[in-house]
Structure 1
Amino acid sequence: MSRTVFRVRNVNGQLPLSTLMDDAGILSLEHQFHLQDVLGEHNWRVDMNAPVFEFTFPSGETLTCESFHFLGSAAPGPASWMWAWANPSGFPEALTQLAGSVRDLGERHGVAELTSAEVPFADLPGAPDMPHNAVGPPTEAAKVLTGRWTSYNGEVGGGTRASFLVEHPAFRLPAPAPARTAGLLQQAVSGLPLTDHRRAVYTYGNLRGLNPAFADDGARLTLSAEGLALTVSFDEYGRVKNVEGALDR
């Protein structure tokens, strides 16, 4: 299975975690919307020793992931995120190896939150105060750095939430369509904690194969592919102002 990985650029050896969240945000959201469509009503279970990650549906049918990766967990007691490679429970290396590669990339790009074994919620972007929000920043960074884009998190006891990257052919995105893409962009800029709309939309277009191109003044960005042509305009503050194009499908 091919991986779409964004080649990050940092300045003076430092890369804010919030920038990685901008890079990941829109494509990550599209994958999560698609995952919701695939799963619908479901239960989930994970066996870290087997290892098995499985979804069960009301019909009794199951979907078993081809592979999965344990990233880490957010616990309410210490109010912190702990990376899987630092967890003292001794999980199989195959399940934590990807988290270890995120740590290595964090060292390369100077992202402290990716290299510290345990990160207080207060030190994460937005200073989340609940585990279900705290899993977001490190998970988004892991997606854009590894090119694995579908995540799942759930409670594992005592209010702690564990975060995973999961893989299955059903989770792959369909080809982009104009109306869906325009709607996605509008939902992303209104609902995600993006700090740089221009970077976020450009990166999404690049990762999605939509040939992003800015106008000379930087006020408009075109996204184009077979059957799709959209123009995203930005206001004087760099925020998305409008998305225009043929939205017939």
Structure 2
Amino acid sequence: MTFAALQPLADRAAFFVALRQDALTTAVDALGEHRWDADMAAGTLTFTANANPAHQVVTRPHLIATIAPGPRSLLWAWAHPQGDAQGVAAQLRDYGTQYDIAELSRSELAFPEDTGSDLDEWIAQVAHQIGTVAVEITGRSPYYSAPIGGGTRAVFVLDAPLAPLTVQDAVISAPRILSGLALSDARSAVWDAARLAGWNLQWTDEAFSGAIVTDASGSATFRFDEQARIVGIEAPGLTG
């Protein structure tokens, strides 16, 4: 079990985040075997091809939190000695204060009792949750979960050289993405993807059985069943 109070925010952003993480993975995988390096003084997090160091993906990272097995706690970046009290992570603190979400407005969160036997795996899951929540609140994407030693992970949101997410991109990637993604409420997830991507969205009827999303690349209709699951995507001209 991750931080339960934060899960609704993560659920809402899940579809958009999956699409953006897929775009980051595609860009980094194009380097082949690679490494990552963070230079906080220069304000860069760089992925570099092992075979040719001139081939890089250079991003600007914004530290959101560190998750450490030693103290068994998560420390928000706005309270971190190396963080920025008024940086991007402060948006999560302010959101928590505004909507009375203590897990966002407290500087440090103790791990819950039910972390399970594999603490490394649990920390990795929490890093995903925190990264997704950060995207939801700040609107920045993608995120990166970086192992920084001793089992600790740092979660960043990145300003990365990725093209904005278009409706066409989403239509092409959605079947593959959705096959491995469990959405608790796909209707809300599609609505939120449109909000975060800057698409126009219109519901097809008062029952919210379909959502038409549109941007400069074209238009697509997501169809939902009674349980708010995606049962079809109609996008003539966008997939071929």
Give the alignment's TM-score, normalised by structure 1: 0.77
- 1:91 Cα deviation from its structure 2 partner: 0.9
Distance (whole Å) between structure 1 residues aligned to residue 98 and residue 11 of structure 2 = 19
- 1:64 Cα deviation from its structure 2 partner: 6.6
Distance (whole Å) between structure 2 residues aligned to residue 194 and residue 17 of structure 1 = 15
Give identity over the alignment, percent.
28
Q: Which residue of 2 aligns with 1:101?
A: 91
- 1:199 Cα deviation from its structure 2 partner: 0.8
Q: Which residue of 2 aligns with 1:20?
A: 9
Alignment of 1:114-125 (within 5 A): 114-122=104-112
Q: 1:92 to 1:197 in 2, by over 3 A?
A: closer
| Matched AA of 2:9 | L
Distance (whole Å) between structure 1 residues aligned to residue 61 and residue 93 of structure 2 = 18
Q: 1:147 to 1:206 in 2, by over 3 A?
A: closer
Distance (whole Å) between structure 2 residues aligned to residue 123 and residue 196 of structure 1 = 27
Q: 1:167 to 1:226 in 2, by over 3 A?
A: closer
CA offsets per residue over residues 14-72 of structure 1, 9 Å max, x none?
Answer: xx522321332222222211111222232111133444422211211154746321111
Q: Which residue of 2 aligns with 1:225?
A: 215
Distance (whole Å) between structure 2 residues aligned to residue 116 and residue 186 of structure 1 = 38
Q: 1:216 to 1:166 in 2, by over 3 A?
A: same
Distance (whole Å) between structure 2 residues aligned to residue 191 and residue 65 of structure 1 = 28
Q: Which residue of 2 aligns with 1:43?
A: 35
2:75/2:107 contact within 8 Å kept:
yes
Distance (whole Å) between structure 2 residues aligned to residue 66 and residue 159 of structure 1 = 24
Q: Which residue of 2 aligns with 1:84?
A: 77
DSSP-derived class of the 2:87 partner: helix
Q: Which residue of 2 aligns with 1:133?
A: 125
- 1:98 Cα deviation from its structure 2 partner: 1.5
| Matched AA of 1:172 | A
Q: CA RMSD in A?
A: 2.7
Q: Which residue of 2 aligns with 1:75?
A: 68
- 1:208 Cα deviation from its structure 2 partner: 2.5
2:16/2:189 contact within 8 Å kept:
no
Alignment of 1:1-249 (within 5 A): 16-40=5-29, 41=32, 42-58=34-50, 59-61=52-54, 63=56, 65=58, 67-87=60-80, 90-91=81-82, 93=84, 97-122=87-112, 130-168=122-160, 170-173=161-164, 175-177=166-168, 180-214=169-203, 215-246=205-236, 247-249=238-240
CA offsets per residue over residues 134-161 of structure 1, 9 Å max, x none?
Answer: 1122221211221211211221111111
2:77/2:83 contact within 8 Å kept:
no
Unmatched segments (≥5 aa) in structure 1: 1-15
